[in-house]
């Protein structure tokens, strides 16, 4: 029972951090920090999935949400910066 | 005006979600379908990971559809983005030392991890899609560290199309030898929990993993090679 309560508190804390980083991603003026904040959302979501006993979904979320999308955003940000430099 | 519209939209969404979750009750038992899968899967499909057995065997046709959707997405991205025959080498561009060294350390490990995940898809959590995504992330990291790196389109296309072809061939073999399309019992089921077990599941998941990895790498490679123009 104690373990269950601990899990519940941890999930609530993670959810609050996720919400905070979602708001930060919208409000932030820096694109790079906003992209990192969205990566944090996916990473914490995968932790929550793991705690809810679905490791398969957690792996997908971590690989695609936190890894692939964040990296892809950085590649595209660099491309846009390069284009702006060329002008 | 625009803000108030957004607030109304968010409130409506919150009400909608509340409506769904207010009636939510934790189930004490597995429902009928889940209980069937849970009790009959070891003897029918022989995979230690029940999720994999459901994804690859019981719902195999849906997985084929998913792979097809991903293939179409790759195709359309390749069609829209400009694909130059020659790559412009931008020698001016330097990434940081930390990123380059980190990529050198992490890329081989990530590739091996991806292969491990899809080969062990029937034993441990994960499988073709997860392993493929990990391989894709490794390629993205490689291109992030060195944008001038050339990842062969031909090789990616070859891996992608051959694994897709053999995936369907195994499905048709199941139709001929075993009980139906994508039936995994074309090979003996083997001992539950060993690496070579669960019939065709490891083979199918390896093909899916290679296909997904090649597709994601192809998308990233296309994006990396495209020069942004005003038209795009």
pLDDT digits (tens, 9 = 90+) for B139-183: 888 888 877 777 777 888 888 888 888 888 888 888 887 777 777
Q: How confident is residue A81, by pLDDT bands cut at 50, 70 and 90?
A: confident
What's the pLDDT at B89? Answer: 58
Q: What's the whole-model pTM score?
A: 0.80
For residue range B18-57, list pLDDT tens digits in order: 988 888 877 778 788 888 888 877 777 777 788 888 888 8
* CB-based contact A63 B130, cutoff 8 Å: yes
Q: Can you give the three-state secondary structure of chain B, one letter per residue?
A: CHHHHHHHHHHHHHHHHHHHHCCCCCCCCCCHHHHHHHHHHHHHCCCCCHHHHHHHHHCHHHHHHHHHHHHHHHHHHHHHCCCCCCCCCCCCCCCCHHHHHHHHHHHHHHHHHHHHHHHCCCCCCCCHHHHHHHHHHHHHHHHHHCCCCCCCHHHHHHHHHHHHHHHHHHHHHHHHHCCCCCCCCCCCCCCCCCCCCCCCHHHHHHHHHHHHHHHHHHHHHHHHHCCCCCCC
Contacts of A15 in chain B (CB under 8 A): none
For residue range B172-223, list pLDDT tens digits in order: 888 887 777 777 777 777 777 777 777 778 888 888 888 888 888 888 888 7
Contacts of B54 in chain A (CB under 8 A): none
What's the pLDDT at A87? Answer: 64
Q: Quick check: B228 pLDDT over 80? A: no
Contacts of B226 in chain A (CB under 8 A): 79
What's the pLDDT at B63? Answer: 86
When CB atoms are compared, the residue of A58, A64, A72 closest to B220 is: A72
Q: Count residue pairs from A and B with Cβ separation < 8 A.
A: 55
The residue among A25 and B79 whose pLDDT is bigger is A25
Q: Quick check: A69 pLDDT over 80? A: yes
* CB-based contact A75 B220, cutoff 8 Å: yes
Contacts of A53 in chain B (CB under 8 A): none
Q: Quick check: A77 pLDDT over 80? A: yes
What's the pLDDT at B88? Answer: 58
The ipTM value here is 0.78
Q: Quick check: B11 pLDDT over 70? A: yes
What's the pLDDT at B36? Answer: 84
What's the pLDDT at B227? Answer: 66
What's the pLDDT at B232? Answer: 47
Report chain B's mean pLDDT, rounded to a whole number. Answer: 81
For residue range B89-109, list pLDDT tens digits in order: 555 667 788 888 888 898 899
């Amino acid at each position: 029972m104690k373990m269950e309560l601990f899990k519940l508190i941890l999930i609530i804390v993670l959810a609050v951090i996720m919400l905070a980083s979602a708001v930060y991603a919208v409000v932030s003026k820096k694109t790079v920090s906003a992209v990192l904040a969205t990566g944090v959302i996916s990473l914490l979501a995968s932790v929550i999935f793991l705690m809810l006993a679905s490791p398969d979904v957690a792996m997908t979320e971590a690989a695609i949400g936190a890894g692939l999308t964040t990296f892809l955003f950085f590649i595209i940000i660099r491309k846009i910066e390069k284009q702006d430099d060329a002008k | 005006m625009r803000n108030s519209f957004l607030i109304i939209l968010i409130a409506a969404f919150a009400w909608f979600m509340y409506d769904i979750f207010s009636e939510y009750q934790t189930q004490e038992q597995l429902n009928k379908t889940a209980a069937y899968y849970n009790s009959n899967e070891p003897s029918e499909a022989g995979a230690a990971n029940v999720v994999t057995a459901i994804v690859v065997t019981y719902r195999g046709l849906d997985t084929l559809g998913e792979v097809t959707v991903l293939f179409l997405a790759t195709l359309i991205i390749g069609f829209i983005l400009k694909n130059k025959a020659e790559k412009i080498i931008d020698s001016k561009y330097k990434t940081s030392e930390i990123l380059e060294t980190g990529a050198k350390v992490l890329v081989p490990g990530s590739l091996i991890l991806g292969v491990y995940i899809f080969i062990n898809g029937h034993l441990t959590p994960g499988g073709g899609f997860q392993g493929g995504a990990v391989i894709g992330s490794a390629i993205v990291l490689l291109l992030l560290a060195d944008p001038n790196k050339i990842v062969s389109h031909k090789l990616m296309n070859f891996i992608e199309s051959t694994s897709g072809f053999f995936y369907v061939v195994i499905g048709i073999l199941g139709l001929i030898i075993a009980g139906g399309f994508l039936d995994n019992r074309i090979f003996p089921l083997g001992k539950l929990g060993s690496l070579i077990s669960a019939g065709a599941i490891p083979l199918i998941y390896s093909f899916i993993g290679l296909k997904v990895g090649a597709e994601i790498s192809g998308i990233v490679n296309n994006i990396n090679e495209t020069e942004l123009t005003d038209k795009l």
